[in-house]
Structures are given as structure tokens and as C-alpha cells.
Amino acid sequence: MTDMTVINSDHDFGPLYAAMQRYVDLELLPCISTAVLRGRDLIDLHCVGWADREAEIPLTADHMFRMFSNTKLVTSCAALLLYEEGHFQLDDPIERYIPQLANRQVLRPGATDPEDTEPASSPITIRHLMTHSSGLSYGLLDPGTLIFELYTSNKVSNPATSLSEMVEVLSGLPLTYHPGTGWEYSVAIDVVARLIEVISGQDFGDFLKARIFDPLGMVDTDFWVPSEKRDRLVAYYDGADLMDPMKGGLTCIDDMPYPNAYQQPIPRQSGGGGLVSTLPDTIALIRGLIPGEGMLLRPETLELITTNQLAKGLYIGFPGFVDLPGKGHGLVGAVSLEALSDEPPGVVGEYWWGGMAGTQWWVSPDHDLAGVVMTQRLMSTFHPFANELKKLTYDAVST
């Protein structure tokens, strides 16, 4: 189990705590827990709000959260362990390991028929997959498009199917663009999870336990919550208005994304969004990426993580939700090449990511600083709270 000792510091985190409490009091978020690390030292930890608003159960540091897309950090690190051992190179075509993904077809611009395609100009590489530049999609954030309809009707994300079965479905679907020429959030990291199974010969969850969870002391991270831990799972909420994140009001949606989610094992061990975890376990994972004794990855691999891997001129973005100019993508998450107008200048050089329910992490090698935030509100990846709390954290450590 990770060391949760908070090292005394002279930093004033009072404004951060006040902001956290405000988001809870205004019923914008049900709860928030934060942790700040200077190097590997935990210099602040704070929890506010309710693990269950209806039952009035206060949030504590050991409550469990649906991590959704923060699962991608774990999966990417797992793949990089195999990369370090020489099992693959980043520019290897994925078809070398998963033949079903060879000979891709790409939708022509403006296509309205799934047969209106052309051959891909190059194979999908593992680097493309790890940076969401493969041409795959999610069928999640672009309703009304042809690719959304194809992913939805073919049930690409069906939790009752395995990673192997998912690949079979993907083999019959076109790409949205030629590999390496665009960026779109996608099921690519689930394909990486399948790659890990193929190379290791292990079930994906077993590999994670043996190579990441056990070595780092992550005792509460898994694809489901056993009955003896069920009372520690934080309730899940929806906001009052998806398009107005600052409108107060919360409704419990524990049966999302499907009834009894995370309460029993399922076939899909999603490398893109399937894990449940805690604040201490996430701190342990982040510590594993910070130079020092017990590092999970080699220093030269960390250099790849913090370096933008996208082609020149490409940036990440979520159409209909947020554009992110100046944000590239490394091998485990986004990298900040420039600061946005609502961000502190110190974010340049960070690598970071967030999950759909608002769990967030960020690491700033230049400032020897890292942060973790946990909450459970639907579609709060880019809720305004995230940048405000980060700014207040930078303010605290710079004074």
C-alpha cells in the first residue's frame, strides 16, 4: 500500500480548499479529493463533499472511483513495460501482432455510405494507437456522423464482449482518416490492451496485477468492486445541464453506463476506460512515473512520454465540447506545448489526462510537481473546476 504521509510544507492551500468546497456547496460536484506531490513527497491531501449525497456519507481518501479514461494511463504504462523489454517497436504495424487490423480502408471525405472508402495510405502503427492518431473512433462524442452510427450499430464498446471480440468487430469497419494524419479520441487504447494480451500470453487484468498493481502497492484497483469493498464505491452523478456545467443540481446515476456496472466481472476488461481505483492507488501510479527509487519505467521511456508524438500541426480536441490548440499527445496522455487562456503558464511541459467522470492527473517535470483530482460527475473531463483547481495549486506552491 502506498505511503500517504503528508510532508509538512509552508504552502497555503486554503484558497484551493475554499474553491473545492464552493463546487460542492453549489451542487456542481458531489465531492472532490485532491493530492499534490513535490517530487515523490505528498505535500497536500484534502477531501470535501459526499461519497453518497443521499446517504450523507462523507468522502474519505480511500473511497473508490470509476476512472473511465484514466484507465488509459495504466494501459499505456503496461504496454511501455513490454516495449522496454524489446517485444515491439513503436512504429511496428499493429497487423504484425493483430492481423485482423491489416489492409485498412478509410472513409472518403464527406462519405455517407460505409462502402465509400479508399485504401489506407499506410498501416496503423503502435505509436498511432498510443496517441489516438490511428484513424479509429469511439462512437461516443460525434453523434449523427456515419462513423458514430457504424460503431454504435456494431456495438464496438459492448461490455459483454472480450477485447479479442472487439478487434474482430473493428476489422470490418473503416477508419475515419489515414493513419498518422489526424487525431480523434478512440478505442485505440483498448486495441493496445489486446496487444498486451497477445504479446504476454496473459489475460489483460492478470498482466496489470502482476506488472503494475502488485509492484506499486495498488491494492484497490481492478475492473470490478468486490462485495466487501462495495460501500467504498462513490456514487455517480449527472449535472443539471450537459451544456452548462456551471448550473447547479446533481442526480444520482449509479446504473450508468449500465445496470450494476463495476459490481461483478465482465468480459470486456477495457484498457480505455474500465478500471475502478482510489486516490492512494493513483498517487502510487503517479509516483511510479517520477524519477527516484522504484520507478515503473526507465528514464528514457519517460522522455518519450513527455514528448509530443503527433505530426507537426496536429493538436488534440473534442469537437462540440472543447478545442485544445497547443495540446499535443505523448505516449500516455496529452502534453502541453502552450498554455490556454484559462491555464497558469506553468502548465507548459506538463503531461496529463482526465476521465469522463472527472478524475484527473497531471505531472510537471519542469516544476517537479504533480496533482491528482477525484470526483464523480458525468462528462466533467473538461469541467471548469479542473483548471481552477490546478491554477490554485500552482499559486500555492509558488508563494
pLDDT tens track for 99-142: 999 999 999 999 999 999 999 999 999 999 999 999 999 988 88
Mean pLDDT of 203-231: 98
Q: Which three cell numbers stand for residue 380?
A: 466533467
Residue 115 C-alpha from the chain's centroid = 32
**Which cell numbers hold the place of 316?**
488534440
The secondary structure of residue 243, as a DSSP letter, is T
Q: Which CATH superfamily is domain 14-62+237-260+275-397 in?
A: DD-peptidase/beta-lactamase superfamily (3.40.710.10)
Contact 94, 126 (CB under 8 A): yes
Please report, for the chain, the start and end positions of each structural domain, with discontinuous segments joined by +.
14-62+237-260+275-397
Residue the block writes with cell 449500465 = 258
Q: How confident is the model at residue 313 (pLDDT cuts 50, 70, 90)?
A: very high
Torsion 370-375-380-386 (CA) sign = negative
Q: Which residues contact 33 (CB under 8 A, 6 or more apart)?
A: 45, 46, 47, 48, 59, 61, 63, 279, 373, 374, 375
Tell me the per-residue pLDDT of 357-388, one tens digit each, with 9 for 90 and over. 999 999 999 999 999 999 999 999 888 999 99
* pLDDT recorded at residue 345: 87
Q: pLDDT by residue (tens digit) across 45-72? A: 999 999 999 999 999 999 999 999 999 9
pTM: 0.97
Question: From CA 237, how far away is CA 250, in angstroms rounded?
Answer: 6
Question: Concatenated DSSP letters for 116-172?
Answer: -EEE-SSPPBHHHHHTT-SS---SSS-TTSHHHHHHHHTTTT-TTS-HHHHHHHHTT
Interval 316-338: pLDDT, tens: 999 877 889 999 999 999 999 99
In angstroms, rounded to a whole number, what is the distance separating the alpha carbons of residues 342 and 351?
A: 17
